[in-house]
Amino acid sequence: MTRSTREPPSFVDGQVVIMSLDAGDTSGWCWLAVDRLDLCTLGTRVALKKSDIRYGQIPSGGTDSGENRVVDKLVAKARECWAWAEVDEEVDTFILVLEDFVLREMNAGRSLLSPVRINAKLSYALRDSGVRISLQSASDAKRACTDERLRIWNVYDRASGVHARDAQRHAVLCARKYASTLSFREWAGYGLRL
């Protein structure tokens, strides 16, 4: 019996487009578009120097209506990111990264669970879109993508705001996973609709 080996599609065409979020009372967002071939062959550090990146922050005000407004803005941002990067479903990969929530403090304030509510509402709003959603821990992003490394990779902006910078960390960490982990690439896809 002959066993077939499945080979991934060529990395020559397409880009990896990542939209990452640090949801909360103030939600940070980041868009990163990087050439797949550069990312997978040259590595994240080199590919980032050739990439396009945008980022910002959206305050919610800590109320249900404020969080709903933020979710609406983030869905609009995802659409803007798709258009900005000129995503071609046939060859590009689009990944939405959400910062996972881990309870680290006892706090009775409403803002404590704001990230959970925003992530849940956003996931629900995008449920039928086909967008791949990846959860990443804040500690992994901060450990792998320190301020010093962001400076080295030429993506650090002191004026960006703490939440936008945390979203940048998540985008870069996702790019690193895509560059180095075959199982993550297979999950995220190669852009080809088979």
CA–CA distance, 81 with 94 (Å, rounded to integer) = 10
Query: Tens digits of per-residue pLDDT, 62-115?
Result: 666 778 888 899 999 999 999 999 999 889 999 999 988 776 666 666 666 778
Which of 111, 121, 118 has the alpha carbon at shortest distance from 61?
A: 111
Which of 136, 169, 147, 167 has the alpha carbon at shortest distance from 55?
A: 167
For residue 65, give the CATH number of its domain. 3.30.420.10
Query: Tens digits of per-residue pLDDT, 31-74?
Result: 999 999 999 999 999 999 889 999 999 987 666 677 888 889 99
pLDDT at 2: 46
Which of 165, 164, 167, 171 has the alpha carbon at shortest distance from 148?
A: 165
Report yes or no: 13 and 91 within 8 Å, Cβ to Cβ: yes
Residue 167 in domain = yes
Residue 5 in domain = no
Residue 8 in domain = no
Element (H, E) at 169: helix 162-180
Domain that holds residue 130: 15-101+110-188
Within 12-122, strands assigned E span: 15-22, 26-35, 52-59, 93-99
Residue 48 in domain = yes
pLDDT at 189: 87
Residue 130 in domain = yes
Query: Tens digits of per-residue pLDDT, 4-43?
Result: 444 455 555 799 999 999 988 889 999 999 999 999 999 9
Determine the Cα angle at 59 with ends 73 and 51, to 5°. 65
Q: Kindly state the average pLDDT of the residues 142-161.
A: 91
pLDDT at 11: 54
Residue 9 in domain = no
Residue 6 in domain = no
pLDDT at 64: 63
Q: Kindly state the average pLDDT of the residues 149-159.
A: 89
pTM score: 0.84
What is the distance of C-alpha 52 from the center of its chain? 14
Domain total in the chain:
1
CA–CA distance, 97 with 117 (Å, rounded to integer) = 16
Residue 10 in domain = no
